[in-house]
Each structure stands twice: as structure tokens, then as C-alpha cells.
């Protein structure tokens, strides 16, 4: 649990702590865990449970020259996105014990390429009839990476047009899906059936949202809506109804593409490279 000065949070230490007890009480040979990193939550019966943030943990393990990582079975596909790392999926503490004691070896997880259901299915641009001047504005917005403010009467199709914008954005590069997936993994919003997010995010919120939910925060910093919209679109409908402070906190993230959230015990930086699309009515 060293260094003691770093705050420990979450149940990811359950599995490695239990494995450490098995190793240092002589129930397992010490060399069995050489070059291995273990993360995961344990239930009272010893079964493993899903743990958030496995993707960045696996990436950090690879950078730290670990050869293999032990993760819960539910998170094997997520950890498998990191190349050059042996993934050992375990269903329970007993399964890990049998694996390290060479009683019942667990075969390494093999990543299977498949087309996952998109988490953010874009609206087809062809569903929008007419509005040619707005479509042209969206094309310019997409080409230049600009932010956009749409003004029009209720029912004109502003929200539909905003939802269509991600569908005409360029496809994400090789590294961008991992960046987006890493953020959603830390926020624990990554569906188990979709280990890699290949579509650009589209986030929209009600005007009653507070600034901490928008930019991230709380007692322990976590990604907010602007970070969940990284490499995608953040849509704010009925813009004048949002609080002044909520809109003001968007200024720096829009300019610097990152946001640093500081608390008494820690300071964390999250990415915020997104396109802001807002809509207003001409008159209340």
C-alpha cells in the first residue's frame, strides 16, 4: 500500500491484497507473481467483480514494464486493448490461486476483432429535410473544428441538426478511440459489451446541470461532461437558461483543451477537446 502519502480509493486493491497474503504466508511461491500486476474487486465469496479504470491501469502497467496483468473476467476485453501485455482473466480468488500454483492454468485472453454496437449512434444527415443554409454551416463547423450557435424558433430542428453533427465529423484516428475509452473507463460509464468506443461522443444536458457536473469535480475529482465529450460534441440546448457560472467555467477548457481540477488531497487533469454546439430561441 506504499507510498502511504497517496490516497487509496476504490476496491481495486482487493485482489492484489489477497494475492499478497497468499504469497507471503507461503501458500504460493514468491516467484509465481514475478512481473505481474493484479487489479480487481472481490465479493464476500471470493468472486471477482467489474472494476472501473482498467484500461488506463493496463496502459500504466505496460509503461512500467509489467509482462502480465490479472483482471476480473468482465474487464478482460477492456484490458486487451493494450498491446504487448498478457491478460489473465480470473473469475475468483480461488481461480487465481490455482493459476499461480500451476494447478489449473488460465489461458491468456485473446482479443477478438468485432464490430461493437455504437454507444453514440449518430443521426443520419439525410433525415434532415431542407435547412440547406444550416447544413452548410454544419459542414463549415466540421471542416474547421469550430463551435456553433444555432438560433431559431422552437421546432425548427436545432436539436436534430446538432445530433447529426457527429455523423459528418472525420472518423477517429488510431489513438483517439483509446483516449475516449480511457475517459469513460475512469468515469465507469463504459458498457461491458463495448470495450472500445469507436464513435465520436455526443453529450447533451439539461440546463439545471451544476458546474461541478459539467467540468468534473466532487470531493474526489472525476471526469465531467466536457471530458466525456472529448473528441466529440457537447450540445447545450436552451443556452440562456444555463447559469452564468456554468457558462463561465467553459471558457478555459475550450481554449486550453484540458482542465485541471485541484482539491486539498490531489490535482487531476482531464482532456476537454470537444466542439461546443448551442441552441437558443429568438425570444423567450
For residue 14, what is the enclosing H or E element?
Answer: helix 14-24
Q: CATH classification of 125-280 is 3.40.190.10, yes or no?
A: no
Q: Domain spanning 11-100 has what CATH number? A: 3.30.230.10
Classified as helix, coil or strand, 72 is strand
Query: Is the per-residue pLDDT at 41 higher than 90?
Result: yes
The CATH 3.30.230.10 portion of the chain extends over: 11-100
More confident residue, 254 or 102: 254
More confident residue, 22 or 130: 22
Mean predicted confidence (pLDDT) in 81-105:
91
More confident residue, 82 or 267: 82
| CB neighbour list of residue 206: distance below 8 Å, 6 or more residues apart | none
CA 180 to chain centre: 5
Global model pTM greater than 0.85: no
User: What's the CA gap between 56 and 63, in Å, rounded?
Assistant: 10
How much of the chain exceeds pLDDT 90, in percent?
42
Query: Is the per-residue pLDDT at 48 higher than 90?
Result: yes
Q: Regarding beta strands 41-42 and 48-49, do their DSSP bridges make them parallel or antiparallel, or are they unpaired?
A: antiparallel
Question: Cis peptide leading into 129, omega within 30 of 0?
Answer: no
CA 231 to chain centre: 12
Amino acid at each position: 500500500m506504499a507510498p502511504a502519502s497517496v490516497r487509496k480509493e476504490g476496491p481495486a486493491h482487493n485482489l492484489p491484497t489477497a494475492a499478497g497474503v497468499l504469497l507471503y504466508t507461503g501458500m504460493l511461491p514468491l516467484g509465481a507473481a514475478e512481473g505481474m500486476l493484479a487489479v480487481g474487486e472481490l465479493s464476500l465469496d471470493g468472486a471477482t467483480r467489474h472494476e472501473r479504470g482498467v484500461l488506463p491501469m493496463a496502459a500504466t502497467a505496460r509503461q512500467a514494464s509489467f509482462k502480465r496483468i490479472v483482471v476480473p473476467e468482465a474487464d478482460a476485453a477492456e484490458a486487451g486493448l493494450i498491446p504487448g501485455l498478457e491478460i489473465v482473466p480470473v473469475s475468483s480468488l480461488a481461480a487465481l490461486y490455482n493459476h499461480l500454483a500451476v494447478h489449473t492454468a488460465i489461458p491468456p485472453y485473446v482479443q477478438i476483432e468485432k464490430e461493437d454496437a455504437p454507444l453514440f449512434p449518430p443521426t443520419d444527415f439525410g433525415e434532415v429535410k431542407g435547412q440547406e443554409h444550416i447544413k452548410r454551416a454544419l459542414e463549415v463547423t466540421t471542416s474547421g473544428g469550430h463551435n456553433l450557435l444555432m438560433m431559431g424558433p422552437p421546432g425548427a430542428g436545432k436539436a436534430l441538426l446538432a445530433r447529426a453533427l457527429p455523423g459528418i465529423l472525420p472518423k477517429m484516428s488510431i489513438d483517439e478511440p483509446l483516449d475516449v475509452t480511457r475517459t469513460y473507463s475512469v468515469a465507469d460509464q463504459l458498457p461491458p459489451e463495448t470495450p472500445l468506443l469507436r464513435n465520436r461522443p455526443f453529450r447533451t444536458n439539461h440546463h439545471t446541470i451544476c458546474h461541478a457536473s459539467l467540468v468534473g469535480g466532487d470531493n474526489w475529482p472525476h471526469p465531467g461532461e466536457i471530458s466525456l465529450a472529448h473528441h466529440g460534441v457537447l450540445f447545450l440546448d436552451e443556452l440562456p437558461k444555463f447559469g452564468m457560472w456554468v457558462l463561465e467555467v467553459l471558457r478555459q477548457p475550450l481554449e486550453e483543451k484540458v482542465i485541471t481540477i485541484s482539491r486539498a488531497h490531489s490535482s487531476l487533469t482531464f482532456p476537454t477537446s470537444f466542439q461546443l454546439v448551442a441552441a437558443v430561441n429568438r425570444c423567450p
